[in-house]
Structure 1
């Protein structure tokens, strides 16, 4: 089935059901379908053709999502354009676009014409019929650019047709009855969950203003939500001090980076079976899930990131590219029909990640005999001290295991004496005061003296990037 035919069919089946809710506003599924048809007609009239690139520079609105689906219906390449991008990043995102859909009148963006949402763009209507060929690019999702200019992760239409909510088994009925939609429509994982909600007949609930976790969940009767690790930690901070009724929550997926095992165990205890940890990448979609049932059956898996979801194969390989047995660490490779097609206009980088249908995740880990994945670091997330490589992941875990530490992050910074030096930042556990001498001892005991960071700093909270992940670029700046 050509993408996005399944979404169009889902909207047609129940035209009077509510698709989006934002405060007092209710948008029915039939109205969303009408919006898609009007955007398709408006984009075609503006000269958009199959294979063209169309930017979506809107807030989190029904119109923004409808514009994206309309562009893809025409066989065009939809590209999310986030607010506040620095000029170099914006230029990379706008590269190759013929137009950008915007919320309101605004001048062209770096020479690319803008199409404001309004009566002129939405005047006509055409029945939306998917035109994209399976081998054509239908979506480009740009990374945060925390390591330089953002990379454009491209998806072909045949991969988009396979984009479902990756689970182990079918999605339970009612799980996505009310999904909390916030952040940005340029997030692949957020859009994936939104589409899962709509395909399941649910309602996407858009909060007014920034979501105040965890109180927003019962207040808006949310059954499904997606959070990053720093936001989970803030939720736990609240739940330690007061009771919040989360009994209506069916699934709270935490993604973006692994959760420290002790805090994940606390999350399972305080939030319950709705909490699950997901591991994946923009390039692959979700790869594994860990839930309370896994840990109840196999307690040691609390230190893992879970078991592969349906349609995913994982291998751990050594430096020569050979698969290694269970229990042996190496680089994690993934294979899935949902994987990306390559990086936008960067065949060299694409070639280092894609090989024979497999995606090189650049994460280091091991599989146990049951198939659960344990991450031990990132092949890129290293610090090289006196020509010796140290993965930052194990150092962070050694610090996070200390009783006085709630969160730990380690970054590499150039050093005149050693080439690079590791610098550690920790967030204190409630009511505790980390002692740098004790932290040094803890790392040395776990990993040896050579792995001990050159400095330690205690932060009230970790800076967070636009992607919702810990902002290691900001931490490197602090270290300097």
Structure 2
């Protein structure tokens, strides 16, 4: 049963209450080691005391360069206990991006070893004085900086206040929307991997705590082996990893009988591929839609009909707006504007970008989509994912969907590149289904029939798989240099 959380408690108070309520129950499993709720609370107390002893507290920027361990989870919560501005650092960042992150008002860096200003072992040497940790933050203080993927250049730091984190439903079962309530019931053993600095990874971890489940470390996160070996019931999965899992299950089925939820995030999922995943894996795929700037916007459960990403909860406002800035009727595509209780206040130290994206209390998602008459949300593309051909704008999304729906095509990606005759031209990259050989002429004809001759790709290249960035998302920028 979900734990009870005291209403009105500022963040991370609800998480501390969840740990206290868990008591001797295992909340984190790392190899042969298990940590109870009481044990995790003790780790939080010691690390928070260590941070304060190091002179860190309210308003200080503390970067977390940590692996996936009980101590890493505790360190992030402890950073919030002392009222710091917690900066999550994903592993695998290119050197230039890492320098950018660590030079944005960071006062200390916490690491697993001696690479940073502070090591976890030093922080944990502080005695545990017991009791409930004293919370230092005020509602308007910045609680954390969440970095965007950087797929369009330098990652931007989304600044989220303590008030916004307190307003999020993750740790509050009484506030869970229906889709989250269904997901929570399946989080008995939730796989964590990669980095707890990931917004998605951490927040599903807190949701698991609130649902009475256990976070289980998958190291390495090889699917399907990790699911089978650890008897996992749930995991986050990117679209490319989902495709690989489905293909592996077709070739050599593994025992995935424990699996009850795969939370797909990071990029859109084609309707045909979602149906295939459900056919092969069963009713376990939850397709989430959200952004670093907003948090979760909506989620489709296994019962929802693709390609909908579900119905946004009542506490979240979503509008599809036309070029004039006014909402468009159901069935008509528009740019999605979103307003959530837990959204960021803007980009840290970047007023120009903030003014462009955070508008009158709304977040411009730069995504295109529409609603049906029942309120279900459908994504159709990105406003910035455009190719200017003969001075006309053409979106890459519809071209990708036309190609991906062709027989024998598993995935399709389209990028624009300069062209001497047309200004820009579309270039397509397709991943064929196993044993299939695409016919470029047939693919071009298909695009022409559906979208017109101007959208026909200048080149169609067959690739084994799409390159991905450090966060596991497809990175289309890496496709063109390979041409």
After TM superposition, the score normalised by the length of structure 1 is 0.93
CA offset digits 1:228-263 (Å, max 9, x no partner)? 110110111012223333332221111111211111
Q: After the TM superposition, which segments of 4 or more aligned residues of structure 1 sit over 6 Å from their partners?
A: none
SS at match of 1:303: coil
- Say if 2:160 is the partner of 1:155: yes
SS at match of 1:423: strand
Q: Post-superposition shift, 1:358?
A: 1.6
Indicate the residue corresponding to 1:72 in structure 2: 80
Q: Post-superposition shift, 1:15?
A: 2.2
Q: Post-superposition shift, 1:170?
A: 5.6
- Say if 2:282 is the partner of 1:278: no
Indicate the residue corresponding to 1:188 in structure 2: 199
Structure 1 residue corresponding to 2:211, chosen from 192, 196, 200: 200
2:43 touches 2:124 (CA, 8 Å); kept in 1? no
SS at match of 1:258: coil
Structure 1 residue corresponding to 2:436, chosen from 423, 427, 432: 432
Indicate the residue corresponding to 2:111 in structure 1: 102
1:41 touches 1:122 (CA, 8 Å); kept in 2? no
Indicate the residue corresponding to 2:135 in structure 1: 130
- Change in CA separation of 1:5 and 1:377 when aligned onto 2, cut-off 3 Å: same
Structure 2: gaps of 5 or more residues? 1-8, 171-175
2:289 touches 2:296 (CA, 8 Å); kept in 1? yes
CA offset digits 1:203-225 (Å, max 9, x no partner)? 1000232x221232232111111
CA offset digits 1:66-102 (Å, max 9, x no partner)? 1111111111110012334334312321110110000
User: Equivalences for 1:59-458 in 2 at 5 Å?
Assistant: 59-94=67-102, 95-106=104-115, 114-119=117-122, 121-125=124-128, 127-165=132-170, 167-168=177-178, 171-172=181-182, 174-209=185-220, 211-295=221-305, 302-458=306-462
SS at match of 2:181: coil
CA offset digits 1:375-434 (Å, max 9, x no partner)? 221001111122111111101000000002100011122333333222111100121101
- Say if 2:39 is the partner of 1:31: yes
In structure 2, how many angstroms separate the alpha carbons of the residues matched to 1:416 and 1:47?
59
Q: Post-superposition shift, 1:309?
A: 3.4
In structure 1, how many angstroms separate the alpha carbons of the residues matched to 2:390 and 2:128?
65
2:179 touches 2:301 (CA, 8 Å); kept in 1? no
Q: Post-superposition shift, 1:120?
A: 5.6
